[in-house]
Structure 1
Amino acid sequence: MIPMERASPEERRLLKLFRALEPQDRATLLAFAQFLMAGGAANDTRPSNQKDETDALAQQPRPEPRPQDESVIAAIKRLRRVYPMLDPGEMLHETSSLMAAHVLQGRDAGAVIDELEYLFSAHYEALSKSDAQEP
């Protein structure tokens, strides 16, 4: 028999809430959980000196083609690979707002992905300008 780990009070509460949701709302909750797992500053556990070395090597975007039927979550992951020099923590509010507009308000994925691409590009341009102005 495989030993079962006892669920924490938070896990039990989440499961109870999940079970009370309609199927469409369950899918929304799962999509949002996937989004949260996809990134954020809290997920970067590299030592700061390793971040600096890695970031210095990643100053240019690495373009990837946009898949035809790309999900919003997959687009965020792709854009983080394309723009590894950007701090996901600085963009978390804007990115999560766009994700919420898609998941919670039913906004079209293609339109949200277009805005995400613009957002990442604009942040990259701002970073490039600030780097160029440093002595």
Structure 2
Amino acid sequence: MLITELMAPLLGDWQGTEQQAASPWALASGARAALRFKHEAGGSVVVQDYRQVRDDAMEFYGHGVFLAQGEEVWWWFFDSYGEPPVPAVGGWVDGELALVKTTVRGTAVHRFRPTWDRLDYRITLGAPDQGEVAPFLAGTYSRVSGH
């Protein structure tokens, strides 16, 4: 299946608010965020632009690249922290795109749940030395424009 077909529910521009838990990288905070998902390279990939402005005025930027391998979705996310991206892998189940990424810092599960006019995005984290998974980010966004 083409990535543009798999990612069609996400395509477009979104804006909303987020709540982020404390982490080794930042204190807990609310934030405003904007996301854009669009197809590129003749429809062979979907790219994502992300900008977060936290309540303390700190900014975080990211650029994602999604690729389909059959029904499986691969996602590389480059961000303003500058670490080399490790791919997250997953797929769509019951209207939700779930992607799992494991690094030396632990396992992150990213869940995108779009409807026509709303996008819910959740990240849970599990530390490598702990079996517990904890909520890290909860965002709710409204569609600004479709694709």
TM-score normalised to the size of structure 1? Answer: 0.22
TM-score normalised to the size of structure 2? Answer: 0.21
More helix per residue = 1
More strand per residue = 2
